[in-house]
Amino acid sequence: MLHSAPMHPRHLRPPLLIALTAILVASCSAPAPQQNLSSGPQPTAIADPFERVNRGIWEFNEALLEGVVLPSTTAYHNAVPQPARKSIGHFSRNLGSPSRFLNQVLQGRWQDAGNETLRFATNSTVGVAGLFDVASKWDIPSSNAGFAQTIQTWGWNGKTYLVLPLFGPSDETHATGRFLDEATEPWNFVPSLRTAATVTNFDKISNIADRQVLLIRTQPDPYSIARLAWTYSASETTTPDLTLRGPVHPPTLQTLGVATLENQDPAFYKKGRTAHVRIPSTQRRLPYNLWLQKTPAPIVYISPGLASHRLSGITLSLAESLFRDGFSVVSTSGIFHPEFMENASTTATPGDPARDSADLLQALTEIDRTLARKHPNLLTRRALVGLSMGGFQTLRLAATEKSRAPNTLTFDRYLAIHSPVDLETALKTLDQYYHAPNAWPQNDRVQRINNTFHKIAALARQPGPLPKVPPFEAIESKYLVGYSFRMVLRDTLFSLHSRYPSQHFTKRASHWERDSLYQEMLNTSFQDYQKNFLIPNSPAGLTTRSNLRSLTTTITRNPRVRAIINRNDFLLGPGHLSWYQSTLGSRLKTLPQGGHLANIAHPDTTRAIHTFLKDLK
């Protein structure tokens, strides 16, 4: 975690973290109904027999990373100019050349060993002791090699997950390789290089600390994400089969592009601040993020997808765009993110759109009151922009505005982006996608699922930006979407089961041991939850409340409502596009493609968002 390793921050993000809908957990006093587990194919994760110990070390590393490393590396980046840091990076790589050469020889990679020798000679002389990468400018090929890779080439692949103090995710192969790497570093033989080694190692850490901290902050359980990522990224000798054996599915394939979202300013999230507001109904403090303009400006409240974090990639991309356009911005976590559920939800079984929208409104009202009190001259008009499930709640709040209490917050603009119309239709689609690999032959299914995840790891290892069109066929892209939503559902359920133990699960919720319980939760479909958990704990009429068509008249009559949708959004069912068109008319922007949320940063989407908000200035 605190050292440069073959685990790349980009591929630690799930392919998408987007929204959808209804779930949850029965109280522990209710009789347990017959379970209807919808088990489905899953990727093979590396064995974790030492989970309790690993999680303990992970939390130690996490505390060290956030409390010591991040402040230190931030100060380092502020004090040392980027060109100087770049030269330090070149020096560091050049310093490791002898070790790479040794491993290339041990692997029989003679051409790479020759190139490494030539690069080292060139950069050590013409490149002034490696401070400048002249070899790359002269097109001398570069390659990587270490003892873990060498050991894998000889046939020893790690089978047991380990988390090492300071270094983070590993296995028995990489732990051994790391020991050998450290033992053969040049400063062990030339003591005068020790100071230089300390500086270069710190420089390596500084380049990944920000992204690792952001991962930790935005994921309910970053440990499990890191373990899955390690399973497929650690093997440096596995080459995935990139052959497309079937047709592609543009809606889900485009949706995977969410993983490529990056801020124009990588440090944008740090330019705002994290604040907290006390929620009256729960008496707990809910975190939110604020980017405040220095002069009076309209403020936009972003309500992200189902379980998206307030600092997720999609949320940050939209927040940066709005802030650059002159708006102040507030972001909260989605209503099914454990952060919101545990601090602002008034029900043990969230998933009823009416109750959830009321909880969201209460949180936004308290945030707005706090900001108006602290910054009375900086806030002008208000807008609510909702993404996916957040868009669904935005349209509900717009439709019920006149029936709400007079002291609650109202908005000068309601903008829903890529909102589903009928949650039940969307849930069925997600369950179907999770089971998409069942179309493969049974004896080939596990191997092809694992190959799909190896593709993700291979893409993450590629230098430069990820491709805009990932190399996945229809079954693969559907499964990755369905699996991502199951992971979201799993984290939501774990939070609920930890607070309100449910007889629907045989395993108790343990902070330190989760693997067995996670398997139970992944084997439960969205439709199972709706049937067995949500409906028994909701008032009658849930199906009606889960469909925006029931609010057609009041949505149409609210002139401050706007919406943006993609024609090929897989969460839209038959007739939903025509419903949007007839309900909103010119207040709707329809884009031809983009799947679900993938084109949030596309110029057409950005232009539509700013067009719908510009009259607030």
pLDDT beyond 70 at 14: no
CA atoms within 13 Å, Cβ hemisphere of 328: 21
CA–CA gap between residue 20 and residue 373 (Å, rounded):
34
Local confidence band at 7 (pLDDT 50, 70, 90 cut-offs): very low
Which pLDDT score is estimated for 213?
86
Which pLDDT score is estimated for 81?
84
Task: Give 556: exposed, middle or buried? Use CB within 10 Å, 0-12, 13-18, 19+.
Answer: middle
Q: pLDDT tens, 176-232?
A: 998 998 888 877 777 777 777 777 777 778 778 888 888 888 889 999 989 998 998
Question: How many other C-beta atoms can be found within 10 angstroms of the C-beta atom of residue 598?
Answer: 28
Task: Enter the tokens of residue 408.
Answer: 């609650």
Which pLDDT score is estimated for 562?
98
Which pLDDT score is estimated for 90?
83
CA–CA gap between residue 250 and residue 595 (Å, rounded):
7
**What's the whole-number mean pLDDT along residues 256-285?**
89
Which pLDDT score is estimated for 10?
34
Which phi-psi region, left, alpha or beta, contains residue 129 (left: φ > 0; alpha: ψ -120 to 50)? left
Q: pLDDT tens, 566-613?
A: 999 999 999 999 999 999 999 999 999 999 998 998 999 999 999 999
Which pLDDT score is estimated for 513?
95
Local confidence band at 469 (pLDDT 50, 70, 90 cut-offs): low
How are beta strands 284-291 and 297-303 bridged, if at all? unpaired
CA–CA gap between residue 24 and residue 309 (Å, rounded):
19
Residue among 343, 271, 336, 332 nearest 301 (CA): 332
SS3 263: coil
Which pLDDT score is estimated for 471?
85
Task: Enter the tokens of residue 83.
Answer: 């060109």
- Percent pLDDT > 70 in the chain is 92
Residue among 171, 110, 183 nearest 143 (CA): 110
pLDDT beyond 70 at 466: no
Q: Measure Cα distances from 256 to 18, 28, 70, 488, 599 in Å.
A: 11, 38, 30, 16, 10
CA–CA gap between residue 269 and residue 564 (Å, rounded):
25
Which pLDDT score is estimated for 576?
97
Q: What does the angle CA 296 – CA 312 – CA 568 come to, to the nearest 5 degrees? A: 100
Which pLDDT score is estimated for 161?
95
Which pLDDT score is estimated for 22?
26
Q: pLDDT tens, 504-562?
A: 899 999 999 999 999 999 998 898 888 888 888 888 889 999 999 999 999 999 999 99
DSSP state of 18: -
Whole-model pTM?
0.88
Q: pLDDT tens, 133-150?
A: 888 899 998 888 889 999
Give me the amino acid identity at 64: L
CA–CA gap between residue 53 and residue 331 (Å, rounded):
35
CATH number for the domain running over 261-425+549-616: 3.40.50.1820
DSSP state of 311: T
pLDDT beyond 50 at 11: no
Question: Where do the DSSP E strands lie in 267-344?
Answer: 273-279, 284-291, 297-303, 328-331
CA–CA gap between residue 314 and residue 316 (Å, rounded):
6
Local confidence band at 32 (pLDDT 50, 70, 90 cut-offs): very low
**In 126-243, which residue ranges form alpha helices assigned H by DSSP?**
134-137, 147-153, 172-183, 194-218, 222-233
Please report, in angstroms and rounded to a whole number, the separation of the first and last CA atoms in the chain: 44
Which pLDDT score is estimated for 93?
84
Q: Round the average pLDDT of the chain to a whole number and report it.
A: 87
Which pLDDT score is estimated for 39?
62
Give me the amino acid identity at 480: L
- Mean pLDDT check: name the lowest of 71-85, 417-431, 435-449, 498-512: 71-85
Of the spans 66-75, 148-157, 388-397, 536-545, which averages the highest pLDDT?
Answer: 388-397
Which pLDDT score is estimated for 530?
85
CA–CA gap between residue 366 and residue 385 (Å, rounded):
17
Local confidence band at 28 (pLDDT 50, 70, 90 cut-offs): very low
Query: Among all chains, which residue has been given the structure tokens 């110990």?
Result: 53
Which residues lie closer than 8 Å to 55 by C-beta, 6 or more apart? 163, 223, 511, 512, 513
Domain positions in the chain? 49-220, 261-425+549-616
**What's the whole-number mean pLDDT along residues 89-102?**
86
